[in-house]
Structure 1
Amino acid sequence: MSLLGQVSLSILKREIARSSFLSRNMSRTALVILAAGAEEMEAIISADVLRRAGVQVTIAGLDGPDKVLCSRQVVIVPDMSLQDALAKNSSYDAVILPGGLGGSELLSKSAKVGKLLKEQESSGRIVAAICAAPTALKAHGIGLSKRVTSYPTTKDVMVDGGQYTYVEDQKVVVDGNIVTSRGPGTAFDFALELSKILVGQETADKVANGMILQKN
């Protein structure tokens, strides 16, 4: 075989392998719920990293498909409204709540979010929250008796009532199907842990290496 033919065959094999990888992992789905005042880093890093891992991620606007003004005045356009996202798929493998005080408060008050999280938890599928968003888990009675973490200033909210075991010395805490994390600086760790859960350690490591991300 000529050198050109060998190169072409190598490219073809690589593309076949890539297509096979994507077809396997794109069957895994994640829903990121975006509310006004959300922490934009946590929303985008979660969606970006999971998409790099081959997960089909939907960013859904809590109040509709329109632009969402986030905590640092960054505007994000959701893929669709939460209502449409749930009509499209009623059983996401992971539901992810970004933090941000304003966004977390809206998530805490939403009956639609509460119903979704209860269904997600009872089915054994992943419920994930970062920064201030674990307060929304508490508001809806999700993950009671589990080990959790959150942004430090929300600790008092999380420990009040004794429903959770609070963890301060871990960037990401996984207890069963509940995944929590501390804040913007732990967003990559959070997203990579979700990638590991959804598509495996090997894929998560490849994503981390591809981003030149030094893991502690």
Structure 2
Amino acid sequence: MSKKNTILLLADGAEEMEAVITIDILRRAEIDVTIASIIDQECIKCSRNVKICADAKLEAVKDKQYDAVILPGGLAGSKALSNSKEVGDLLKKQETEGRLIAAICAAPTALKAHGIGFGKQITSYPSMKDQLIGDYKYLEDVVVTDGNIITSRGPATAFAFGLTIVEKLLDKTSALNVAKGMLYKDYE
């Protein structure tokens, strides 16, 4: 079985915990993660002034095939994801090919902006609910998986979000092993 590969998209204002925790969990599971900047700079200034340097700019890696495209939240970061044509093109290709799309916190609004997954069950940061309920079946679960779409609520749910991505890409045992290694007990 070939190694799974993912891309995590970042823009200024991204929520750093959601990005870093997800990246860390996937890499612990030996899943490749390309951190891609959707803006024309290598280092991203996140919502709490933490800087994350990308592996590549989206322009350089957008034509590759990914097992999962991951969108961290953060209000400004999510707005940038929503407004990016390149992000929209990547998400539409991912959806058409039936590959995994994962969005947390405010990032499900980017799914809506690009017409992704309408009618599916999703969740988000609570203040985003009203923007999403007309186009999706909104739930308030920690993580919601509906087909190829995984969504989650916010920074505190990033562990469950990352582990769910691992489970979907690999298997439950792999996710449980990563959780055990981190001493994370809330994943079953």
TM-score by length of 2: 0.97
Q: How many residues align?
A: 187
1:24-60, CA deviations, whole angstroms, 9 ceiling, x for partnerless residues?
46x2011000110000000111111001001011000
* CA–CA distance in structure 2, aligned partners of residues 94 and 200 of structure 1: 15
2:109 to 135, 142, 165: 135
* Residue 163 (str. 1) matches residue 139 (str. 2): no
CA radius of gyration, larger in = 1
* CA–CA distance in structure 1, aligned partners of residues 143 and 6 of structure 2: 18
List runs of 5+ in structure 1 lacking aligned partners: 1-23
RMSD of aligned residue pairs (Cα, Å): 1.1
* CA–CA distance in structure 2, aligned partners of residues 211 and 84 of structure 1: 33
* CA–CA distance in structure 2, aligned partners of residues 83 and 205 of structure 1: 35
Aligned-pair identity (%): 53
1:151-202, CA deviations, whole angstroms, 9 ceiling, x for partnerless residues?
000111111xx2110001x100000001100000000000000000111111
Instruction: Tell me which amino acid in the other structure corresponds to 1:188.
Output: F
Instruction: Tell me which amino acid in the other structure corresponds to 2:166.
Output: S
1:33 to 9, 13, 21: 9
* Residue 56 (str. 1) matches residue 36 (str. 2): no
TM-score by length of 1: 0.84
Contact map agreement 1:65 1:79 (CA 8 A) in 2:
no
Task: Using the TM superposition, give the Cα deviation of residue 85 of structure 1 relative to its aligned residue in structure 2, in angstroms.
Answer: 2.0
Richer in helix (by share): 1
Where in structure 2 are the equivalents of 1:1-216 lying within 5 Å? 24=1, 27-87=3-63, 90-159=64-133, 162-168=134-140, 170-215=141-186
List runs of 5+ in structure 2 lacking aligned partners: none
* CA–CA distance in structure 2, aligned partners of residues 140 and 93 of structure 1: 19
